[in-house]
Amino acid sequence: MNTSSRSNKSKVAAFRTKLSAAMMLVIAAITAFGFYLAQRNVTRDAERGLHQKFGTELSALDKLLALRQAAVTERSRTLAANPRIHAALEDNALDLLYPSAKDELRDLMENRELSADQMAKMLHAKFYRFLDNHGAVLQPPNSQDVGALSAQSEAQLAFKKLPENQQLGYIANDDSPTETIDEVTAVPIFSTETGEVISALVLGFKPLEIVPQVRGTGMKSGVWANGRLHLPSLGKSDTESLAREIADVFTDFKKPKNSLRVAVDGAPHLLFYKRLNPGSVYPPAYEICIYPLAASIGQLHRLRWQIGGVGGLLLLGGFVASHFIAVRFSKPVEQLAVDSEKNRAQRRVAEAALASTTEKLERSTRYSADASHQLKSPLTVLRAGLEALLSREDFNPEIYEELSTLLHHTHRLSGVIEDLLLLSRMDAGYLQIDSAPVNLSQLVQEWLDDLEALPDSPEVKIEKEIPVELYVAGERRYTSLIVQNLLENARKYNRSGGCIRVRARSRDGEVQLKIGNTGQPIASNAQSHIFQRFRRASTGSGVAGHGLGLNVAWELARLHGGDLKLVHSENDWTEFELRLRAAQPAQSA
């Protein structure tokens, strides 16, 4: 009992541990998932936000660029319509081209400090060149008027074939000590006579720069063209490493992205790019914008701490909750274990009790049977001896009287033994009722007749109300024994001048036989165990009886599926009621 309760306790503890572990696992998984989601969302939102910013800033740039392009287009159209330019181009007077254009383009070349917006509108060009009808650059007679340009840079302006549309390009200009990049716009000039492209005007500008909408974002912008990155605000080594990364992206066209993560000065940045001159004959050029990710990373860090904190709290709460839930859950289990242990103990006790009772019962039954048998034989010998002595004629009359009394007692003893035998058989379950219809009316009448014939019968009046042909289901000898016992009791415990009333009736499939008699009633405290063995109502001691009659009658009545009850015992009247199952008379009878 002690060890089993201890093992139960350890089982409950294990259950509790498992439950807490499972709950903590779930909470940990949820926290981790939250981590992952938050991180992903923050990163995505940051990227989306920056991309949007890039888009906005780029669109502002695009607007300026478009403005400038439109102005350039308009200017070239005016230029193409200029009769002198035309004359120079069409009348094979290319030497007069630059002088003729000089006046027209003078305002472009005037070096004035202008804002980007104004620059776009005012077309403040750094240089211009005309291309001949093969796309080659026409050498200006005086490069001062048209903006200085190295031969190398100039070569980048040329086309293999004159384009029919305006072209936007970006060329490296190594004239100045630090290499710069120039935005060039080539505008075809159509002959007003032939409608063909006879020349092109290429205008070079300082590239428009992205002006951050919000100051202090740390955004840096530049242009990537011809495999080179021009990002003046960035250090040389950073620029070179960045250029390599970008080149990798541009060469790998299978993986189109619109952004990439780069490290600048060891800090993570997000780089966006967009082609500046889509569809241009000039080599592709890209606007490059890098944004520091410090803000979003900081936010991510904060969020991580927050989520970590919440996760920790959840974990703690979960631990406590799981503990309580485990305790709560394990209580019934514990109770169950205790209960089942209790039940087992109780069952063992009951089983032992039952076993011992059964054994006792068997033993007593066997004993009773053995005793009956052992008693019967000497009794028969005794009776035979007494009868032999009584048949002699040479004794005094007092001796005959004594012998007769002894013989009477042997008869009583024999009755007791018979009853004990019967009871022991019933207790052992060996008595089988061979049920058949029994004529109760007849049976009662016979016993009443016998009763009147008995020599020691007191003066009692007998009343009877019995319908004729009243049948019950039972074995005749046992039914008879019940009736005999009841009637004998009624006679034995009667007073002188009393009466016995016997009534019988059939109702609802059973027969009620009521036997009542006058005389001293049974004491009220004895009434409850009147049917127990060897119990006799404490009436007059002169009444013969051994205390088994009522018990035998009761047991037999029960065995027949009926019942025997004391219904009344007071005021000089005691009445028993026997109930037996009714039966139909046998067909043959």
Is residue 530 near other proteins by the rule CB under 8 A?
no
Rounded distance between C-alpha atoms, residue 180 and residue 223, angstroms? 10
192 binding other proteins? (CB under 8 A): yes
For the CB of residue 99, give the shortest distance to other proteins in the complex, in Å.
10
Question: Counting contacts by CB under 8 A, is residue 146 touching other proteins?
Answer: no
H/E stretch holding 371 reads helix 294-391
196 binds other proteins (CB under 8 A): yes
Residues 454-483 that bind other proteins (CB under 8 A): none
The DSSP H or E segment spanning 287 is strand 285-292
| Cβ closest to other proteins, residue 81 vs residue 361 | 81
Q: Does 22 bind other proteins (CB under 8 A)?
A: no
State the helix-helix crossing angle for 549-559 and 397-428, rounded to 10 degrees.
30
Stretch that binds other proteins, among 191-199, 230-238, 241-249, 546-554 (CB under 8 A): 191-199
In whole angstroms, the minimum distance from the beta carbon of 80 to other proteins comes to 10
Q: Does 133 bind other proteins (CB under 8 A)?
A: no
Does 69 interact with other proteins (rule: CB under 8 A)? Answer: no
| Alpha-helical segments (H) within 140-211 | 143-146, 151-155
Nearest residue to 327 (alpha-carbon basis) of 26, 23, 25, 29: 23
The C-alpha atoms of residue 96 and residue 411 are separated, in whole angstroms, by: 173
Q: Which lies closer to other proteins via its Cβ, residue 86 or residue 220?
A: 86
Query: Residue 185: which residues within 8 A CB-CB, separation 6 or more?
Result: 68, 69, 72, 166, 167, 168, 169, 202, 203, 205
141 is a site residue for other proteins (CB under 8 A): no
Asked if residue 191 binds other proteins (CB under 8 A), the reply is yes
Residue 101 C-beta: closest distance to other proteins, Å = 13
If one asks whether residue 88 binds other proteins (CB under 8 A), the answer comes out as: yes
Is 93 a binding residue for other proteins by CB under 8 A? The answer is: yes
Element counts in the chain: helices (H) and strands (E): 14, 17
454 neighbors 492 (Cβ within 8 angstroms): no
- What is the 8-class DSSP label of residue 542? T
Q: Which range, of 60-68, 78-86, 178-186, 208-216, touches other proteins by CB under 8 A?
A: 78-86
Residue 190 contacts residue 41 (beta carbons within 8 Å): no
299 binds other proteins per the rule CB under 8 A: no
Cβ–Cβ under 8 Å, residues 533 and 548 = yes
Evaluate whether 231 touches 242 at the Cβ level (below 8 Å).
Answer: yes
CB closer to other proteins out of 45 and 193: 193
3-state secondary structure of 189: strand
Of 107, 110, 164, 193, the one binding other proteins by CB under 8 A: 193
Cα 181 to chain centroid distance, Å, stands at: 67
Q: What share of the chain is helix, strand, coil (3-state, %, to 5)?
A: 55, 20, 30
Q: Is residue 91 near other proteins by the rule CB under 8 A? A: yes
Interaction between residue 87 and other proteins (CB under 8 A): yes
CB of 91 to other proteins, least distance (A): 4
Query: Smallest distance from the beta carbon of 190 to other proteins, in angstroms?
Result: 12
Question: What residues pair up with 169 in beta bridges, in sequence order?
Answer: 184
**Least distance from other proteins to the Cβ atom of residue 61, Å:** 36
Minimal distance in Å, beta carbon 88 to other proteins? Answer: 6
The pair of three-digit structure tokens given for residue 498, joined into one six-digit string: 């009393």
82 binds other proteins (CB under 8 A): yes
Nearer of residues 101 and 530 to other proteins, judged by Cβ? 101
CB of 146 to other proteins, least distance (A): 19
Q: Which chain residues interact with other proteins by CB under 8 A?
A: 81-84, 86-88, 90-93, 96, 191-194, 196
